[in-house]
Amino acid sequence: MSLDSRVVEQPGEDAAPEQEPGVAPQPARERRAAPSGSTKRRPTIRDVAAAAGVSRGTVSRVINGGHWVSPDALAAVNEAIRTTGYAANQHARSLVTGRSNSIAFLLTEPQHLLFEDPNFSILLRGAAEELAKREMPLLLMVAGTPEERRRIGGYVAAGHVDGVLLISSHQGNPMLAELLKLKVPTVACGVPLGYEGRVGYVAADDRAGARTMTQHLIDSGRTRVATITGPLDTPGGTLRLDGYRDALGDRFDESLVAHGDYSRERGRLAMAELLERRPDLDAVFVASDLMAAGALVALQAAGRRVPQDVAVGGFDDSGVAASLHPALTTMRQPFERISAEMVRLLLEVVEGQEPAAITLPTSLVVRDSA
């Protein structure tokens, strides 16, 4: 949302001393000038206000989120913070605001997938970069087992984070229900199946992207287009299968569908299953690039040439696709923007706004495999 551009300087707002943001109140007797010859004192809110030519109240509002500050004043204060070297005491600020000033990146998958699936690391990096702009740390949490969910639930309930970026939530996973019960601000990556309308989210347009890829394979002259789906308890699994069906219409054939779990090995096994069941297939849309990498291994083992015998399309374009041989045609997800929008929406929910949902378009990237 855009900043309100109204000037909010209030008459007399400097009449009384203001507490510096992030500095705990001190008794008057402790507020003494530094003795001569001591080290350089730490810049204060007064220094920032003087450098920016605004009131201390305006500086305070900028430091605490920038609400009700005009664009000119916001720019002046940010420049003054940079030139003076001002830094708020975050621990004391947390005592005053009741917030931790940190956000959790919560992956509801087994730990090994954090390192195997490149999508997660890209989202993690993007979220960390966005929060760094706001001087907020990002805490990485993995809740792939009941014990991990229990520990994380207790940690979050204790107020150690202000909100949660929820990554890869499966339908029926109790973690999301627990976060809602605890009233923890949460934004999901992908449509939170079963919680639409209650939880904000940012998603790639899975259905339209799958439809585009399947249509690309059909337009290239392929007539028996198979698919390897993601898990059907995830939005990517269900919506990409829906898009595949949309493109095929009356030509949809259940025998050309195999199911995967977004892993390389399951992609290999699903491709072998399809070849055994439908040896006449001439194209396959795979619902993730990592599974597509496994599918290419199975096709090579079966003596099928790509793309001459079987065209292959993936979904993600997270780095794996371009490194495969042949290079993989795929649908590109805008990962960096997904991370940025998730952070923005979550901080809005933390500030008390209603949860919102954003769906971002994907784009076709044509390479050698199709």
| Residue recorded with tokens 């920016």 | 52
Confidence of residue 4 (pLDDT cuts 50, 70, 90): very low
CATH number of the domain enclosing 351? 3.40.50.2300
Same domain, yes or no: 35 and 56: yes
Which pLDDT value is given to residue 81?
Answer: 87
For the segment 175-229, what is each residue's pLDDT rounded down to a tens digit? Answer: 999 999 999 999 999 999 999 989 999 999 999 999 999 999 999 999 999 999 9
Same domain, yes or no: 225 and 303: yes
User: Contact 73/58 with Cβ under 8 angstroms?
Assistant: yes
Please check whether residue 268 lies inside any domain of the structure: yes
C-alpha–C-alpha distance, residues 314 and 298, integer Å: 15
Same domain, yes or no: 231 and 189: no
Please, what is the average pLDDT of the chain?
86
Same domain, yes or no: 32 and 122: no
Which pLDDT value is given to residue 45?
Answer: 84
From 40, 70, 97, give the residue that closes a domain.
97
Residue 118 clears pLDDT 50, i.e. is over it:
yes
Domain count for the chain, please give it: 3
| Rg, Å, the chain Cα set | 26
Same domain, yes or no: 154 and 43: no
From 97, 128, 145, give the residue that closes a domain.
97
Please check whether residue 194 lies inside any domain of the structure: yes
Please check whether residue 305 lies inside any domain of the structure: yes
Which pLDDT value is given to residue 67?
Answer: 65
Which pLDDT value is given to residue 165?
Answer: 98
Residue 343 clears pLDDT 80, i.e. is over it:
yes
Please check whether residue 195 lies inside any domain of the structure: yes
Please check whether residue 18 lies inside any domain of the structure: no
- DSSP H or E segment with residue 360: strand 357-360
Same domain, yes or no: 115 and 191: yes
CATH number of the domain enclosing 68? 1.10.260.40
Please check whether residue 367 lies inside any domain of the structure: no
* Range with the poorest average pLDDT among 2-6, 117-121, 278-282: 2-6
For the segment 12-50, what is each residue's pLDDT rounded down to a tens digit? Answer: 333 334 444 444 444 433 334 444 444 567 788 888 999
For the segment 277-291, what is each residue's pLDDT rounded down to a tens digit? Answer: 999 999 999 999 999
Per DSSP, the residues of 238-283 read HHHHHHHHHHHGGG--GGGEEE--S-HHHHHHHHHHHHHH-TT--E
Same domain, yes or no: 225 and 195: no
Same domain, yes or no: 198 and 161: yes
Same domain, yes or no: 305 and 344: no
Please check whether residue 9 lies inside any domain of the structure: no
Same domain, yes or no: 211 and 171: no
Please check whether residue 159 lies inside any domain of the structure: yes
Same domain, yes or no: 200 and 212: no
Residue 315 clears pLDDT 90, i.e. is over it:
yes
User: Contact 296/288 with Cβ under 8 angstroms?
Assistant: no
Which pLDDT value is given to residue 169?
Answer: 82
Confidence of residue 127 (pLDDT cuts 50, 70, 90): very high
Q: Which domain holds residue 323?
A: 206-332
Return the higher-pLDDT residue of 67 and 316.
316
Task: Work out the percent of the chain whose per-residue pLDDT is above 70.
Answer: 84
Same domain, yes or no: 38 and 69: yes
From 67, 97, 127, give the residue that closes a domain.
97
Cis-peptide, bond into residue 326, ω within 30° of zero: yes
